[in-house]
Structure 1
């Protein structure tokens, strides 16, 4: 039996410099992302698209969502399998292709997690569980491009 989960967020454009969208250069791409009872995220478009480089952009947030979702599933499966993870860092990378008409799409994302486990005997199983985490990740199951993994597994 499936179970639905509902999410809600509010996006507020904050980039009106007084003339609205009178022209392509007359407005900022700045906006805020707010979710009830959580910190507000200040965002913009990528600097390549006239955005503010000091703010998060949608492409980075998609990449972060994929990485975060994978990590949470991975840690869950490690705990179930008796793999003791003591540190986890991912330096995820994504490739987006802009097409000739100005639209675009992600071609792929590669997660580069560095995982530290408690014992050397846990390394192989820890490596295998990345595949299972990818199969369960809600975000990875929702995108139409490959999400690859290049994990490094170390022991304390």
Structure 2
């Protein structure tokens, strides 16, 4: 099994109201400032778990989609995703119930739009992050053919 270790650092005291800010780091990558969402006492200027989960799914889906597009020689020129993570309460416990991926995909003139759409949806099957989630993944792509 392949592993991807990281370090998460937090300091403070939970004897009273506590700081939710922490720092994630790994290898030579820039440190990632993390917290909770402001609704949970955190700092909205930092990444929260919901942001990171949405970004992780969206990035995995993008990379899988691009690999499929390359394999089929579909000329994708741009991809810009608007991701929304939806929380729900089930049996008094909060969880991520749904994540919506709404990318705008731009392709070269002459590209088969239906094949692009098919590969976008097929990418979910091979995206290991998406396959690891209990949450529903809603996919709403918009595909545009660039002017020639």
What TM-score comes out, normalization by structure 2 length?
0.94
Asked whether the 8 Å contact 2:88–2:95 carries over to 1, the reply is yes
In structure 1, list runs of 5 or more residues that go unmatched. none
Matched, 1:153 2:143: yes
More strand by share: 2
Q: CA deviation at 1:98?
A: 3.9
Matched, 1:94 2:91: no
Structure 1 residues 117-128: aligned runs within 5 Å: 117-128=107-118
Q: How far apart, in 2, do the equivalents of 1:124 and 1:91 lie?
A: 21
Q: How far apart, in 2, do the equivalents of 1:116 and 1:126 lie?
A: 10
Counterpart for residue 4 of structure 2: 7
- Greater shift after overlay, 115-124 or 72-81? 115-124
Root mean square deviation, CA, Å = 1.3
Q: Secondary structure at the match of 2:128?
A: coil
Matched, 1:21 2:14: yes
Q: Secondary structure at the match of 2:112?
A: helix
Asked whether the 8 Å contact 2:35–2:46 carries over to 1, the reply is yes
Q: How far apart, in 2, do the equivalents of 1:104 and 1:120 lie?
A: 46
Q: Number of paired residues?
A: 146
Deviations along 1:48-95, whole A, 9 cap, x unmatched?
100011111011100100000000000000001111011000001111
In structure 2, list runs of 5 or more residues that go unmatched. none
Q: CA deviation at 1:120?
A: 4.2
Which runs of 4 or more aligned residues in structure 1 lie more than 6 Å from their structure 2 counterparts after TM superposition?
A: none
Q: CA deviation at 1:100?
A: 7.1
Q: How far apart, in 2, do the equivalents of 1:6 and 1:121 lie?
A: 37
